[in-house]
Chain A
């Protein structure tokens, strides 16, 4: 994967958001605790999120956060020639070398996509 650094940071932010949701969801957190796992560092995760978000250009971050309000996973890798969020076929131009380091937008659902 040869994505631009700001796009890599955004992807890492999404992984972190997924974990934060897992910790905040009481039912899931309780299941982990019942298995013996500690789930105690939410503040630390939120701090890490703040630091990471601070390194991402604000317009890109805003775009992601708006999408994340609608979709549990706002950024997705492309497999085959489809958006795995809405399963609509992507145009040929999507796979142009000119965009291979970029997050691109699915024209149908708006999710951010990248070629892994």
Chain B
């Protein structure tokens, strides 16, 4: 079976190119609210609680200005990815303590396995390890340029 193309996980309405929050919880809240507004989740609070618990295991801000908040919840129907970019960065307790500018929020349904998002996380992380791609990603301002970076 041909692997699913990375870009197919992203939707234009699930991108925030100018995240306003500067702190961890408010940034997560802003992203979750966006998903609720787009009717991708049935309950904001279940998702927020789950994400906060996940962060208590260790920040999903892996450094180099990129974070991958993720988890499974009953409040989500299908594997969903939200992309967010912050121009000034968010204090996300990243492992390298630098501000986080790029977020890939990945949510999967409760009845799916962790493998549902592990392969997606792995693919995204390998892209983020390429300095040229990462530099371009910091600057994306629209869906088209995001797709160029992720698909190229």
Contact residues in A for B77 (Cβ distance below 8 Å): 77, 79
Q: Is the CB of B57 within 8 A of A23?
A: yes
Q: Is the CB of B58 within 8 A of A15?
A: no
Indicate with 1 or 0, residue by residue over A1-18, a CB within 8 angstroms of chain B CB atoms.
100000010011011101
Indicate with 1 or 0, residue by residue over A81-103, a CB within 8 angstroms of chain B CB atoms.
00010000000000000000000
Bound together, the chains give a CA A73 to CA B103 distance in angstroms of 28
Q: Is the CB of B74 within 8 A of A76?
A: yes
Bound together, the chains give a CA A22 to CA B112 distance in angstroms of 12
Contact residues in B for A31 (Cβ distance below 8 Å): 114, 118
Bin chain B's interface residue count.
20 to 34
Q: Is the CB of B57 within 8 A of A38?
A: yes
Counting CB contacts under 8 A, is B46 at the interface?
A: yes
User: Looking at the complex, which one of B59, B118, B122 makes contact with A38 (CB distance below 8 Å)?
Assistant: B59
User: Looking at the complex, which one of B49, B56, B63, B111 makes contact with A73 (CB distance below 8 Å)?
Assistant: B111
Indicate with 1 or 0, residue by residue over A37-76, a CB within 8 angstroms of chain B CB atoms.
1111110110010000000000000000000000011011
Contact residues in A for B60 (Cβ distance below 8 Å): 37
Indicate with 1 or 0, residue by residue over B92-132, a CB within 8 angstroms of chain A CB atoms.
00010000000000000011001000100110010000000
Q: If the complex has contacts A11-B46, A38-B59, are A18 and B53 also in contact, measured as CB distance less than 8 A?
A: no
Q: Could you list some 12 contacts between A and B, CB below 8 A?
A: A8-B46, A11-B46, A15-B50, A15-B72, A16-B49, A23-B57, A35-B121, A37-B60, A44-B56, A45-B57, A72-B111, A116-B75
